[in-house]
Amino acid sequence: MGYANRTERSIAGSYDLERVPALALMIDSDAFICLRFSCSGDDQDLLIAALLDFDVEGFEQTDSELYAFIKNKDWDDSVALKIRKTLLEYGYSTIVSISSIAQQNWHAAWEQGIEPIQAGNFYIHPSWNHAEPQEEGLITIEIDPKMSFGTGHHESTRLLLSLLSEENRPFRSVLDIGTGTGIMSIAAAKMDASDILAIDNDRWSVSNAEENIHRNGVGRPITVKLGSLDAAGEGPFNLIMANINREILLSMLPRFRSLLSPGGRLLMAGLLISDEARMTDALTNNSFDVVKIRTEGEWWSVVAEQGR
């Protein structure tokens, strides 16, 4: 994810995050604030994971730098201090620079960089690239991301798709929480799930998911809702899929337990390998049995089953 054509004013140098609020006042109110970090490789993934708890609109990655974009209206002293505290936990105390950029949709930048990709038994491609898969028998999904998360290019999405493709049982009722582009709901529908509820608390994501669902011709079994986990009602569901972040997933586990039918499956991603001990303990404490674990790079995912 990212924004193209960073222009406007740039505040150069290295800044302790305690100074960021005052500097932000120098930036136009309708602009984005761009936080630039000097890091590479796995460090970028760790920083992205740390920043996902905040209202970050997108990220841009280069070989040696990471850019995080936050709307100026969402930036104030309290946000800056919370970010500083979180980053300190990950070993970072400074940012390299702050820039102001004009608001723009990153869809054009995505079109330049997204190529078809395989994840498990799924082959995901954007509408502007119809290259045929090299392997036969794959389930094809067409996704245009616009400004939502979930194209199969991030490790967490690939992990969740791979875990889903390994589930051989038919699922009558599925919950996809934090649906983003709708990719997981579309994948479940193409695996013959009969009743799917996709929820996201972001209005743009809901619109994007609905477009992608229509594009893939799987609208009949899928209902898309704007809201929180409360929008799931009382269930029960045979399968719950969630690709979010650690703290939100931990807070949702008791609710997941009540929403799943006995023997139901929970597929979770958006987690780091360093989260494994905490997550497995939390799953056990909420009467889940860990069935399967998958990793890719620094990212960790899990299949858990509701205890009978």
67-94 residue pLDDT tens: 888 887 887 778 888 888 887 877 765 5
Q: Left (φ > 0), alpha (ψ -120 to 50) or beta: where does 157 sit?
A: alpha
Provide mean pLDDT across the span 161-166: 96
Q: What is 10-104's CATH topology?
A: Alpha-Beta Plaits (3.30.70)
Residue range 201-219: mean pLDDT, rounded = 91
Domain residue extents for the chain:
10-104, 154-306
What does the pLDDT average to over 160-178? 93
Query: How many other C-beta atoms are found inside a 10 Å radius of the C-beta of residue 4?
Result: 14
Q: In terms of pLDDT, which residue wins out, 279 or 91?
A: 279
Asked if residues 44 and 61 have their Cβ atoms less than 8 Å apart, the reply is yes
Of 99 and 15, the one with more pLDDT: 99
- Asked whether the predicted pLDDT for residue 59 surpasses 90, the reply is no
Cα(190)–Cα(218) distance, rounded to whole angstroms? 7
pLDDT above 50 for 17 = no
pLDDT per residue as tens digits for the range 104-140? 555 565 566 677 889 999 999 888 877 788 788 899 9
Residue 308 has pLDDT above 70, yes or no: no
Task: Please report where in the chains the tokens 């990153």 appear, as a residue.
Answer: 106
**Dist CA 302 CA 296 (whole Å):** 12
Sheet strand arrangement including 56-61: 10-11, 97-101, 32-38, 65-71, 56-61
Find all residues with CB under 8 Å of 46, minimum gap 6, and list them: 90, 272, 298
Length of the chain: 308
pLDDT for the residue numbered 139: 93
Among candidate residues 138, 152, 146, the one with its CA nearest the CA of residue 184: 152
Do residues 103 and 123 make contact, with C-beta atoms less than 8 angstroms apart? no
The residue that leads in pLDDT, 254 or 308, is: 254
How far is the C-alpha of 47 from the C-alpha of 56, rounded, in Å?
12
Percentage of the chain with pLDDT > 70?
79
Q: Which residue, among 293, 185, 180, has the nearest Cα to 240 in the 3D structure? A: 185
Fold of 154-306: Rossmann fold (3.40.50)
